[in-house]
Amino acid sequence: MLVDVLGVFPRGLYIDELINVSRVELHDECNYLREAAYQTRYHNACIVSPKKYYAPKVVEHMSNKEILCTEFVDGVEIDTLMGEPQEVRNRVGSLMLELCFRELFEWKVMQTDPNPANYLFDSETGVLNLLDFGAGRDFTDEFLDTYIEVIHGAYASNRKQIMDSSLRLGFLTGEENKEMQNAHNTGVMIVGEPFRTEHPDDLYDFGTADFTEKVVKILPTMSAHRLTPPPAEVYSLHKKVVGTYLMCIKMRA
């Protein structure tokens, strides 16, 4: 109501949809039985990468809807690693990026809160300990099969693939003007930039990336000309992806 009265957000942000998604997520985060179930799924999923990730076990007989009890894990919050050697920051950045897309396309479940306190890096083992699964959510095969086409389009610099897949997902209606189409394509290409290296082993320097400046340039166009809100799955998904990128930038990975 206040947003409508004050008019502080442009129409293209579709703030009602954002608030509705946030409301559901907040209720979910207050249910520790739900969180315990996601944490157990992550614990089992991390077994395939024991030298990379670990999610602590849930102590089921001591947990309920209002109390979540788990085993203890050690490590330091990743946003305290700014002064560590480059190889340490690269290790953590790589783990964060790999986790983000492995969650999405292999496990088909994602912890969508990129709060750096949710990731504890154990410098002795090189393992990233994962915490706080209240923001866990599932994604359907139908959504992921099309979303990965958008990501691959950004990797391959294929505008037609990006636009066609975005239309199928509901990012676009097909009635957008040229300005909006160009802004959308540019936004997707910005997200795919770290993957467009000449050789698979080439390093991408997040420390010199100007993601923020590039995004700021297209926001006015997208706010003014967007005709439909993004798919509901995208709000929390992009919060995680953007948060992961920003952490890599902060660590200069």
Give the Cα separation of 215 and 239 in Å (integer). 14
Sequential DSSP letters for 88-136: HHHHHHHHHHHHHHHIIIII-EEE----GGGEEEETTTTEEEE---TTE
Instruction: Find all residues with CB under 8 Å of 212, minimum gap 6, and list them.
Output: none
State yes or no: is 202 an active-site residue.
no
The end-to-end CA distance of the chain, in Å, is 42
* E-assigned strand segments in the chain: 53-54, 76-77, 109-111, 119-122, 127-130, 136-138
Q: Which two tokens stand for residue 81?
A: 């690693």
Q: Which of 79, 113, 132, 138 is catalytic?
A: 113
Instruction: Find all residues with CB under 8 Å of 104, minimum gap 6, and list them.
Output: 110, 139, 144, 147, 237
Active site residues: 113
